[in-house]
Structure 1
Amino acid sequence: MWAALPQPMPPSPASLDPAGCAEGSREGVAAAAVPDSYVAMGGLRVHPALVRVVEEAVCPGTGFSAAYFWSCLERLTQEFRSQVEECLAVRDVMQAEIDNFYDRRRRAGATFSEQGALDESAAFLRKIGYIERSYGPASVDTQFVDPEIAQIPAPQLVAPADNVRYVLNAVNARWGSLYGALYGFDVLPNSAMLARPLGRGEAPAERNPLREEAVVEFGNRLLDEIAPLAWGTWGDVVRLWPKFVGSTQHLEVLLKSGAATSLRKPWLFVGSSGYLGPPDAAAAREIHKASPSVSDKGRIFLRHHGLHFVLDVDRGRPIGRGSLSGISDIYMESALTAILDMEDSVATVDAEDKARLYANICGVFRGTLEERVAQDGHLKTRRMRNDVWLRDVTGKAITLPGRALCLVRNVGHHLFTDAVMTADGRPVPEGFLDCLVTVAAAFQDLRGLGRIYNSRAGSVYIVKPKMHGPREVMVTNNFFGKVEELFGLRRNTIKMGVLDEERRTSVNLGECIRVASQRVFFINAGFMDRTGDEIHTCMFAGPMVRKADMKFEPWFKAYEDSTVDVGLTSGFQGKGQIGKGMWRKPDSMKAMLESKIEEVMAGASTAWVPSPAAATLHSIHYHRVDVQARQMQIAMRPPSHVEGMLQPPLLREPLSKEAILQELRENAQSMLGYVVQWVDFGVGCCEMRDLCDVAVTEDRATLRISSQLLANWLHHGLISEEELRSAFAEMAAVVDAQSRDVLPGYRPMCEHPESNIAFCTALRLVLEGRRAAGGYTERVLREARRRAKAAAAAARL
């Protein structure tokens, strides 16, 4: 299968410039002196912070010692390090070949949009082994997969694993208040009549009854849509309760007319809790008053398209008192899965950062993660939620999961960490350490020793990013298998999520799935990173289109369709998730509610959201679309072809100078706004204001796009270095004005930009972007963050 794959070798000088090759993917893995403070653990030398967290948080309860943990890492490093380095060498060789191909063809006048040029590109990529032979549809055969992944389409939340608050938010986002999301965001207009008393995320000083009425009306319309009554509407409901008919309960509903009705689809009702019953004579008289005050408190559980939602009846609450039905809220089953991210949304640069992150992961799997927060002048402890109790339709007490099923994203193959070194001073692959900690932490869950369960199917879910092609997926698959062997786990206990975010993976996705067919549980069209890699791979083909225009390019539609097509033909339906990317505007929920349904219609069984409220609102889409039926429709269409992804997103018409400079300013502003938080504050995923003052979420994936686009334009002469530096200086003042009042301790960049670490780092990402391996930003960011931490420590002395 791998006959076409070129043997790894250093690129020869003749194969590099004139275009100028990328820096090596293996940069930063050379040997260095081992610090005296490091602890010898067998043949490894480990930073004391990692020694402590492994001894105190990772290993207790696993049945093996810290010494055995480190011996496993040593064995894995000895066996698999060279394989990873070979894969990285192949990346360098292939990219050098592609750079030269595009540079030669562009100089010869090729446009890369004509069919002949595309055929030539495809033939070249097959010749060098970039596009590999397809052996037909793969067949996914992954066993012991939880229903949240295999059977129930639903939103997915991504949270930085180094932030306890966000991790708890993600874990507890299984259930969300629909009324809260509607009241607090822009789904309902924030006009004078319906205005929120305070901004998003703040407790209102006073209620707005008119806005509450609009919230209730929205909820009633949604119920009419997904749980219609046999006759009548939810807006006319005055009472509802479970009623035994024979040996099972049905939902009985009383309308304001006095007529009784029930659900059009009775099977949607799955249970209840609390005290709900038919009205007595006194209650019946109350019902016909303008403002019913019938004492009733309980919950009705419904299930539609596999997702539960709960009608919370409580006339003691203001919104329930003002509602004819007494429904005070609708709790939606929202984020069924959550990715705890060790990668793009964190800023972990040293052993202390990794130790803090690892402790959080252990806390999740033990069920003990908590946070003390100040609220109303008192300290409150936030914890992971318990399961939800109810009585099913037979009257039996059962539970529903109270938390999202947690997946963990490790780092990619290209990152190495000097927090653990070999005896000769070589850093170990960081992903090896991430994987071992993740699996060891999950022992608490696998052995049933945690306070609560994560995976009821007995699996550990690891999402592996930044893999380039089937060979790298195979290395990961074999690595996971060796970890299972060392830890005594059932084969394929460790499940693999494959992020389709690198171009070589996209064009070989079927073969990537094939080599991990008994382990893969998830594929995702990570369009942000994928766009960054598209630009970097085709850097020398010509100047690229603007960032906002990328989604309208032929390659983009072919890529988005291909992820779904390959997933369905490989048998993912009923066995795994097919995912789509992140919504990047956390305040723009109205726009999300209107547009993100397109991803569900495109066949995705999950899509990423930035917050619990966004998950609750996005869950509406999975009620409006029967995803499994939609996937069956899509499976009937002709599958997309690899060739559709090979047309580089090049400008076809020249841009005006005004348009070029505006794009430059927008990208410079987003880069500076993100980099200053990464470098100065250690924040890997942040909400910031763009140049139009709209709140957007930024992480390393968006930074990769912006830096690569500007590097491309700089290389092809659309912008000069002088214009680049001028725009960055101008935008530094904008970011300073946006940030100084919202980030305590913020240091302005524009006062001394030439000595400001964050400013110089953002500029460096563009100036060195053409040569950056894969267009990745981590090496430059990590160097800068370490310098900033050292400077801050020196200032405290």
Structure 2
Amino acid sequence: MATVRLPSGNVLEVHDTLYNFVRDEAVAGTAWTADGVFEVLAELIEEFGPPNREFLARRADVQQQIDDYYREKRRNGWAPTGESATRDAEELESFLVAIGYLEAERPVDFEVATPQLDPEMDQNGPELVTPVTNASMAVGGANARWGSLYDAWFLSDIHSEIDAEEQRPARLRMVVEETNAFLDEHVSAWQGGVGFDSIEAYSVGRTDDGAYELVGRTSDGAEVRLEHPDKFIGFNLNDEGELAEFFLEDNGLRILFQLYEGGTVDPVNGQFRDLIVESALTNIIDFEDAVSVVDADDLVEGLRNYLGLIRGSLEGYGSRGNLKQLNSDKTYRDVNGEERTLKATSLMSVRNVSIHMYTDAVTLGGEEIPERIVGVLLTTLIASAHDRGSNGEPRADGEGVMPVRGPNSGGGFVYQVTPKLHTAEEVAEQMRFFEAVERGLGLPAGTMLIGIMNEELGMTLQLPQALRAARNRVFFANTGFLDRTGSQLRAQMYAGPVDPREDLNQATFNT
């Protein structure tokens, strides 16, 4: 164990594996030293460790009062019924207000004042959760910003009667036909009622005002243009000056059409070389419930992978032995001929554990510390100090080159997802903690933002107050339905048996 002696007289002990990682990797290339980082950690533990235990004691006390409440009702002959549901809910609300767990309902009289975020946070789109300790999945999750629509359609259960192995040509024809129909209906058809299935080659031309436009050529030699020409945002040419690929945009998401030689589609079945759609815009890098981090070695494995994601250097081997690396950003020429860049990887947030988890990877005065304190501090240090992008420079191990990519957050934010908080008071404490981390690391106020996981009965009941407490930093509130259901079961365990799963699946949630 490495030892850091503090001005307060306390002794911080750090597992050698964690200390060496911070010293040799996390602070490399920065003005920080490992001892400096752990001195900040110790100050945070001294300030936030005691309130952490008080919050946990408060949780236990409230749960005990709820258990006693239902035990007493049961002793008095009460049983839940459909007819009593409204009255039962009103009585429970009154009880929770009386014990100080809930505030009396009041109007929502505040506005969220989060700063302007990275554009991915304004755009509707899929979000992934990626286990940080699995390098292959972490790289794959980051690269899932773009994926083949052909592959997704081919491997799906759409038209499952067409077997992918035994009827491969027929299934591929189905994929091409259905994706072309999808593009016609939902993105843009072509003038004159022409569909994508009628076009055999593509090129770019110029409009009267000099802008580039997309031109399709049908099998009879006719040239057609998009019904919605504004959907065309750019293109790339090959070395012979022929159209190699073009981009359309719909609902803020981009679609990349890759072409064969001469700007053509396959002459047999009309398929593009590939059809790549923008997909997972955001990605939660998970240190919590998608992983099992039980000791310092596990924690360092996760932190090392997270550092590699932020730097762009992480590599991992897939199940078939294939090497996975982060993709380089995509470049293209826009309709005015200017070079543009599209991010190739998802915008990554990071989820550390909640207040109930403790670790012996670091001890203060011989006692375990709240794991969230060390996790949030070190992931924020990594994200703020190393998120600079890369320019295709040689890798540190001399094997290959780095991707050409911009930073994860162009706005310089650290998106911290916080799970399993129970109350608005706990959210307010997390905001106070974020402020202290920013001061300790010398970061501008507002660098750290919070995503609130609505996974507990108390959080659902107090969500407006929780958003009020986080209104200057919150970037999402996200319901985790499995955890949320489990919380409901535990909180009201003594109310009696719950409905069978089949009935719960059909029920209105959170009523």
Length-normalised TM-score, structure 2: 0.90
**Equivalent residue in structure 1 for 2:189, among 204, 214, 228:** 228
**Structure 1 residues 128 and 257: alpha-carbon distance in aligned structure 2, compared to 1, 3 A threshold:** farther
> Which has more strand, going by share of residues?
2
Please tell me the root mean square deviation across aligned C-alpha atoms, in Å. Answer: 2.3
Deviations 1:241-296 (A, max 9, x none): 22111221111122234333222111111000124999xxxxxxxxxxxxxxxxx6
Task: Name the counterpart of 1:599.
Answer: none
Partner Cα distance (1:277, 1:133) in 2: 71
Indicate which of 499, 506, 509 corresponds to 1:545: 499
Aligned partner of 2:120 among 143, 148, 153: 148
1:529-554 CA distance string (max 9 Å, x none): 00000000010001112234323334
Kept in 2, the 8 Å contact 1:160–1:341? The answer is: yes
**What is the match of residue 159 of structure 1?**
130
Q: Residue 348 of structure 1 is aligned with which of 283, 288, 293? A: 293
Q: CA deviation digits over 1:625-675, x for unaligned, max 9?
A: xxxxxxxxxxxxxxxxxxxx3xxxxxxxxxxxxxxxxxxxxxxxxxxxxxx
User: Residue 311 in 1 paired to residue 257 in 2?
Assistant: yes
Structure 2 counterpart of 1:153, which letter? N
Say whether residues 1:219 and 2:182 are aligned partners.
Answer: no
Structure 2 partner of 1:725: none
User: Offset of 1:380 from its aligned partner?
Assistant: 5.1
Partners of 2:134 and 2:101 lie apart in 1 by 38
Query: What residue identity is the alignment partner of 2:356?
Result: H
Q: Does 1:259 align with 2:222?
A: yes
Q: Kindly indicate whether residue 441 of structure 2 is the aligned counterpart of residue 487 of structure 1.
A: yes
Gaps of 5+ in 2: 6-10, 392-401
Q: Which residue of the other structure, out of 374, 386, 398, is the alignment partner of 2:340?
A: 398
**What are the ranges of 5 or more consecutive residues in structure 1 without an aligned counterpart?**
1-37, 199-206, 279-295, 560-644, 646-797
| Distance across 2 between alignment mates of 1:124 and 1:479 | 31
> Map of 1:612-761 to 2, 5 A cutoff?
645=511
Report the alpha carbon displacement of residue 297 of structure 1 after superposing the two structures with TM. 5.5
**Whole-angstrom CA distance in 2 between matches of 1:167 and 1:434:** 18
Q: Is the 8 A contact 2:56 2:356 kept in 1?
A: yes
Tell me what 1:175 maps to. Answer: 146
- Distance in 1, matches of 2:132 and 2:319, equals 22
Residue 362 of structure 2: SS of its match in structure 1? Answer: strand
The one-letter amino acid paired with 1:208 is R
Q: CA deviation at 1:128?
A: 1.2
1:272 and 2:235 correspond: yes
Q: Matched residues in 1 for 2:388 and 2:329: separation?
A: 19
Over the matched positions of the two proteins, sequence identity in percent amounts to: 33
SS in 2 for 1:136: coil
Contact 2:259–2:274, Cα closer than 8 Å, also in 1:
yes
Please say if 1:365 is aligned against 2:325: no
SS of residue paired to 1:457: coil
- Offset, 1:437: 1.2
Alpha-carbon distance between aligned partners in 1 of 2:230 and 2:428, rounded to the nearest angstrom: 44
Contact 2:200–2:264 under 8 Å retained in 1: no
The correspondence of residues 312-331 of structure 1 with structure 2, limited to 5 A, is: 312-314=258-260, 320-324=266-270, 327-331=272-276
The residue that corresponds to 2:411 in the other structure is: 457
Distance of aligned partners of 1:131 and 1:551 in 2 relative to their CA distance in 1, 3 Å threshold: farther
Please state if 1:426 is matched with 2:367: yes
Deviations 1:437-488 (A, max 9, x none): 1111112445567964100111000100010010110111110111111111
Match of 2:2 in 1: 39
In the alignment, residue 259 of structure 1 is paired with which amino acid? A
Q: How big is the shift at 1:411?
A: 0.3
Number of matched residues? 486
**Map of 1:536 onto structure 2:** 490
Deviation at 1:348, TM superposition (A): 1.1
Q: Which residue of 1 aligns with 2:397?
A: none
Which digits, 9 at most, give the CA deviation of each residue in 1:668-694, with x for residues without a partner?
xxxxxxxxxxxxxxxxxxxxxxxxxxx
1:385 aligns with 2:353: no
Give yes or no for the alignment of 1:466 onto 2:420. yes
Show CA shifts across 1:9-67 (max 9, x none). Answer: xxxxxxxxxxxxxxxxxxxxxxxxxxxxx221232111111111111221112321111
Q: Does 1:62 align with 2:30?
A: yes
Task: Give the CA deviation at 1:125.
Answer: 1.1
Letter in 1 for 2:89: L
Task: State the distance in 2 between where 1:321 and 1:109 align.
Answer: 77
Look up the SS of the partner of 1:130 in the other structure: coil
Q: In 2, distance between residues paired with 1:77 and 1:420?
A: 10
Cα distance in structure 1, aligned partners of 2:224 and 2:77? 73
Amino acid at match of 2:144: A
3-state secondary structure, aligned to 2:361: strand
Q: Distance in 1 between matches of 2:504 and 2:96?
A: 22
Task: Give distance in 2, aligned partners of 1:449 and 1:456.
Answer: 13
Provide the C-alpha distance between the structure 2 equivalents of 1:317 and 1:169, rounded to a whole number of angstroms: 30
Q: Deviation per CA, 1:171-226, whole angstroms, max 9, x where unpaired? A: 0000000111112232231x3xx32229xxxxxxxx82211111111110111122
Return the TM-score normalized by structure 1: 0.59
CA displacement at 1:318 relative to structure 2 = 12
In the alignment, does 2:472 pair up with 1:515? no
CA gap 1:129/1:69 in 2 versus in 1, 3 angstroms: same
C-alpha distance in structure 2 between counterparts of 1:402 and 1:369, whole Å: 15
Distance 2:385 2:204 in 1: 39
Q: Which residue number corresponds to residue 459 of structure 2?
A: 505
Whether the aligned pair in 2 keeps the contact of 1:463 and 1:499 (CA below 8 Å) is yes
SS of the residue aligned with 1:320?
Answer: coil
Deviation at 1:391, TM superposition (A): 0.5
In the alignment, what sits opposite 1:17? none
1:413, distance to aligned residue in structure 2 (A): 0.5
Shift of 1:106: 2.5
